[in-house]
A = this chain, B = another copy of it.
Amino acid sequence: MSVLVSGSIALDHVKTKKAAQENLLGGSASYAAIAASFFAPVGMVGVVGRDFPEEHLELFKQRRIDLEGVEFSEGETFRWTGEYMDDMNDRETLEVALNVLESWRPKVGESQKNSTRVNLLANSHPVNQHSVVDQVGDGPGFTIADTMDLWIQISRHELESLLHRIDLLVLNDSEAKLMMDTPNVVAAGTQLREMGPKFVIVKKGEHGAMLFGEDDFFACPAFPLQEVFDPTGAGDSFIGGFAGYLASLGKDSYDFADLAGAIARGTVLASFTCESFSTHALHDLDRAAFDERLDAFHRICRFS
């Protein structure tokens, strides 16, 4: 049983104070799928254009990611250009070209529908997220939706109705506060959970993440990094790793402790993503290096 990841596939141009690179593999679904594939079989739903480099497709295949739901379109691939300041929390989007993403509607592959245990709706327009749930069904398995400030601002109605169809909502702290119109992130997470999903994760970047359940709360720091090379896709890697780990448990349903454990795995994967451009650090990552950092993360968070 596998994770189905739907969302954007992009070509990123990223500039930091130390380096710059063009045509990097990017997009919410790319990061999430590659992170999830560390733990479980992954199927992908998205769209690319005719300019999409063969090497990026090759990478998905190396990770044994099933591309039945990826549409190959005649237009150009979605492109994002961004620049990071000295403080890597400070990012400026210089250019966005939706291209083939603009008119895309997800088409889940038939075989993908049957094997989905965890349905990860990576950050994408809520209408597309609804469409994937329509096709896969919201009955079996565990459905996760990621979102962003743009959809809260321009597509709030669709986002709110989606909340009743998912098990878990994930978003940034600033987005949670924006959506609930409160400066208190704990209040925001609590209120979001009352709008439909059984669980809410609030991502706080370098400050870690929080998980809200009905009667439970979990929080952990980020994995400490002396230097952040490129944080693009860290949040997508986090939730991809989270989803992959859940799927790997081989259970019919997940309790709060499963989700807390999944947050730890997602946190560790996201820390690797921050250490290179694109998904590069995830490709080279072997199980021993991951386990070592997960052990370190346990030690970092332990007290008596």
A280 in contact (CB, < 8 A): no
* B-contacting 9-mer, from A47-55, A144-152, A219-227: A219-227
* B-contacting 9-mer, from A108-116, A247-255, A257-265, A283-291: A257-265
- Min distance, Cβ A192 to any Cβ of chain B, angstroms: 13
Complex interface: chain B residues within 8 A of A204 (CB): 207
A183 in contact (CB, < 8 A): yes
> Are A221 and B219 in touch, CB under 8 angstroms?
yes
- Min distance, Cβ A185 to any Cβ of chain B, angstroms: 7
> Are B219 and A301 in touch, CB under 8 angstroms?
yes
- Min distance, Cβ A191 to any Cβ of chain B, angstroms: 10
Complex interface: chain B residues within 8 A of A301 (CB): 218-220, 301, 303
> Are B183 and A88 in touch, CB under 8 angstroms?
yes
Contact indicator per residue, chain A 284-304, by CB within 8 Å of chain B (1) or not (0): 000000000000001111111
> Are A226 and B304 in touch, CB under 8 angstroms?
no
Residue among A183, A206, A220, A303 with max Cβ neighbours from chain B (10 Å): A303
Interchain residue pairs A-B with the least CB separation, the first 3: A87-B183, A219-B221, A207-B207
A interface residues with partner B (beta carbon < 8 Å): 86-89, 183-187, 190, 204, 206-208, 210, 216-221, 224-228, 257, 260-261, 263-264, 298-304
